[in-house]
Structures are given as C-alpha cells and as structure tokens.
C-alpha cells in the first residue's frame, strides 16, 4: 500500500509573501554583498538559485558531525548518516506527493535523470523504427540523450513544434503519437520562454495509447506546487541546485513498477544484493540506481531546502513570483527597443528578451557592471533559439527573494546599455 502522505494545508489567513521578503533575504548570505560597487541583484535563478543559511549549515554540520558512508556500516556515524540521507528521500517524496519512498532516486540532477531513463528504460524498449517524442523547446539535456538512443537503436526522434507565442501545438501532439511511440519526454516549464506546458493533458493523451511520459521539472519545482500523482506522469526529474539546495544532487521520480523492471544504470558498490564471478543480484529500487558513494551531504542539504520552501508555502511563493514576473514584463514592455520573446498563455518566473542593436552578451556584461546578474546566450536551448530566429537572448529569471526594486534597477541599467551602444 502507498505510504501515507501528509501535505500541509496552507493557511489562507497567512499574509502575502511580499510582507516577508525583506526578512527572507537575510536568510541568503550571498545576497548581502556588492558587485562592482553596487548591491547584488541576482536575476539568474533559472541557471541556479542561491542557498539559505539553513542549507549551508546542514551541509557543514554533516561533514563536521555525522560524516560517514551510508547503508554500509553499523557504527554510530554510519547510522546517523543513513538516517539523515533517507530522511531527505522522505522529504522529497512528501514534497512531490509520490506514493512510495522507493520511487525517489537520488541523481546528480535532471541531466543524469534523463540519461538514466534513456539508458535503462529506453535501451530495453526502443528498437528500429520506434519513435520518441520531445518538443521544440527542450533543454539540451532533454534532447541529446534521446538522440544518442535513437541513433543507437535506429529509432526516430519526433519533435512537437511550438506556436510563435511559445506554446506547444497541442493538436499536433495527438497526431505525433503513434503505435511506434515508445516514450514522450517534455519540459514542465521552458527555461527560455517560461511557458507552463499542459503536462497533465499530455500525460492523459499519451496514456490513452499506453505511452509513458517523462517530465523535466527543473524549472517548475522551485516555483509552484508539483504533485506527481495528480499529474500522472511516469517519470519526473528536478535538480536540487535550482530549488535552493546544493549542486550535484537531483531527483528522479519513477513509478515503482517501472523502476523495478529497469536494469541498473551504473554498477558498483551499494547497489548489489550479492556478487559472485558467475552472477550478481541487485538491490531493489531506488538503491540499484545509486551505485557508489552518493552525494550524501547534497541530499541532506536538498532535504533542508525542501523544508525551507514548504515552510514559506509553495502557493505563496507562486503568487509572489507571478506578481513580480508581471511587474517585470510591464516594465520591460514599456521600453520600445526591447522585445520580450514569446507570449505563452501561461508563463512562470522567466522572461527572455533581446535589445535592438545590442548582442545579449553585451547586455549581460553592462548589467554586471551595475551589480545585476542575468544570463546571456542560448541557455542550452539552441534549437529553440533557431526556431525563433535568434542566436542568443538575455534572460531574467526570478525567485522569491527578488524584489520590484531590483527590477527597477534592471530597467535603469538597460537604459545605460542603450546609451553605450547607440
């Protein structure tokens, strides 16, 4: 039977998160600094988010007090480390409302999660002439592993196009699904356009044809509630460093029956049941996918990061960030020589734009002179930029510790960009 999940009900009487942002910012020590003589305005959260002191302290505490390997010792430190590691797994399960803790695999991030599913699930189920469906807005991490698999197996990668506004063409999605489709892999939220995709509907349509669905949740989990049971997906992945946790740790959720059927992705210590020169047996999921010494401190830090955002309330985070995004869109749209890319029906946390006559790298460089950190380039989504007729873009990506004052500084600095390059 599924383990009982107790998701806290948010108190409707709690004030909006805006009333707490000043105090929240004090939880993030990196924000209290100047860059090039200006207060840091960190607007690059889609690349990686900053870490609250609670996460930093948890990682330091592990190495200072509890450092040991997990699942392999009977001494006190080993037991402490294992307890904290598995506590983090339980925190992840509760956070995304997975039925079982054994459906939570710790990986390095979404990149490894996609590669794991492609190698373990894909190789055993994809053959010549079969098809894998992705979308035109995918991050490279959700393109290349499937390309490699298709090349190896003689399969075909099918690409769902987007509209000019940056939404997936849903009628064409149904048409792409065929008896040869073996998997759909799609992003929950675009890391360039901020498009919130209709993943639940995509899962429903795919499941009508018994096609499993992998969802890349890297840009969704930090910004809105995610419920994998309600979504119905077969696999869901996210990276810890984007949700205020350490780097080098991430999560792959997979339905228990699928994980049990899948072969190990890597082999080594910790994932075995018994080894002989004749044959080896493996531990059940998730452990058979966690070969070697895992990122124990990273998992513990991720668990604390999840506790942190749950305390703030994901609904409150989503509401505050949406207001901030709307404010940023309004201010940017008022600049005649700036063009925001796309206009999807629903957008979350991300605005990418181009400035007339100025390369995005130059935009980012000048903004840095004023202590403002944004991202410039193709954001590991080169095919999407080509579809949009762009080489690169400038990207502003928001978190709950950002403020309208930082957006105002961004706008002021953009006017300085115009003066420099006019």
pTM of the model: 0.95
pLDDT at 71: 80
Q: What is the pLDDT of residues 128-167, one digit of tens each?
A: 999 999 999 999 999 999 999 999 999 999 999 999 999 9
Q: What is the pLDDT of residues 381-394, one digit of tens each?
A: 999 999 999 999 99
Q: Do the beta carbons of residue 325 and residue 46 sit within 8 Å? A: no
pLDDT at 391: 96
φ, ψ at 376 (rounded to 5°): -130, 140
Residues involved in catalysis? 380
pLDDT at 13: 67
3-state secondary structure the chain: CCCCCCCCCCCCCCCCHHHHHHHHHCCCHHHCCEECCEECEECECCCCCCCCHHHHHHHHHHHHHHCCCCCCCCCHHHHHHHHHHHHHHHHHHHHHCCCCHHHEEEECCHHHHHHHHHHHHHHHHCCCCCEEEEECCCCHHHCHHHHHHHHHHCCEEEEECECCCCCECHHHHHHHCCCCEEEEEEECECCCCCEECCHHHHHHHHHCCCCCEEEECCCCCCCCCCCHHHHCCCEEEEEHHHHCCCCCCEEEEECHHHHHHCCCCCCCCCCEEEECCCCEEECCCCHHHCCCCCCHHHHHHHHHHHHHHHHHCHHHHHHHHHHHHHHHHHHHHCCCCEEECCCCCCECCEEEEEECCECHHHHHHHHHHCCEECEEECCCCHHHHHHCCCCCEEEEECCCCCCHHHHHHHHHHHHHHHHHHC
What distance, in Å, lies between the first and last C-alpha atoms of the chain?
66
Which residues of the chain fall short of a pLDDT of 70?
A: 1-13
Show the tokens assigned to 325. 């995004």
User: How far, rounded to the nearest angstrom, does the alpha carbon of residue 284 sit from its chain's CA centroid?
Assistant: 26
Nearest 10 degrees: Cα torsion 265, 191, 102, 212:
-70
Map out the domains of the chain with their CATH numbers: 17-42+313-421 (3.90.1150.10), 56-310 (3.40.640.10)
């Amino acid at each position: 039977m599924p383990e009982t999940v107790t998701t806290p009900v948010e108190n409707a009487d709690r004030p909006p998160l805006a009333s707490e942002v000043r105090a929240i910012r004090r939880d993030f020590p990196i924000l209290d600094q100047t860059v090039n003589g200006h207060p840091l305005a960190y607007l690059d959260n889609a690349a990686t988010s900053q870490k609250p002191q609670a996460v930093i302290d948890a990682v330091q505490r592990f190495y200072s007090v509890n450092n040991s390997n997990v699942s392999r010792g009977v001494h006190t430190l080993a037991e402490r480390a294992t307890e904290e590691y598995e506590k983090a797994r339980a925190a992840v399960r509760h956070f995304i409302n997975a039925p079982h803790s054994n459906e939570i695999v710790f990986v390095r991030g979404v990149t490894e999660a996609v590669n794991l599913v492609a190698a373990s699930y894909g190789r055993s189920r994809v053959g010549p002439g079969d098809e894998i469906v992705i979308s035109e807005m995918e991050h490279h991490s959700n393109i290349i592993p499937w390309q490699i698999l298709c090349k190896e197996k003689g399969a075909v990668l099918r690409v769902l196009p987007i509209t000019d506004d940056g939404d997936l063409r849903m009628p064409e999605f149904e048409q792409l699904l065929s008896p040869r489709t073996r998997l759909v892999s799609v992003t929950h939220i675009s890391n360039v356009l901020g498009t919130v995709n209709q993943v639940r509907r995509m899962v429903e349509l795919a499941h009508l044809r018994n096609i499993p669905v992998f969802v890349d949740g890297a840009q969704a989990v930090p910004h809105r509630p995610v419920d994998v049971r309600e979504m119905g997906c077969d696999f869901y992945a996210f990276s810890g460093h984007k949700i205020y946790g350490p780097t080098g740790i991430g999560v792959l959720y997979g339905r228990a029956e699928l994980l049990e059927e899948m072969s190990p992705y890597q082999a080594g210590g910790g994932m075995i049941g018994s080894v002989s020169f004749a044959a080896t047996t493996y531990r059940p999921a998730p452990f058979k996918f966690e070969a070697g010494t895992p990122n124990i401190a990273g998992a513990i830090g991720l668990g604390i990061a999840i506790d942190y955002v749950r305390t703030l309330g994901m609904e409150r985070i989503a509401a505050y960030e949406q207001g901030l995004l709307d404010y940023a869109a309004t201010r940017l749209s008022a600049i005649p020589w700036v063009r925001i890319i796309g206009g999807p029906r629903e957008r979350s946390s991300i605005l990418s734009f181009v400035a007339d006559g100025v390369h995005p790298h130059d935009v980012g460089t000048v903004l840095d002179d004023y202590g403002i950190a944004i991202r410039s380039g193709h954001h590991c989504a080169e095919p999407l930029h080509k579809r949009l007729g762009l080489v690169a873009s400038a990207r502003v990506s928001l978190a709950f510790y950002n403020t309208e004052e930082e957006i105002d500084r961004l706008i002021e600095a953009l006017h300085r960009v115009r003066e420099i390059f006019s």
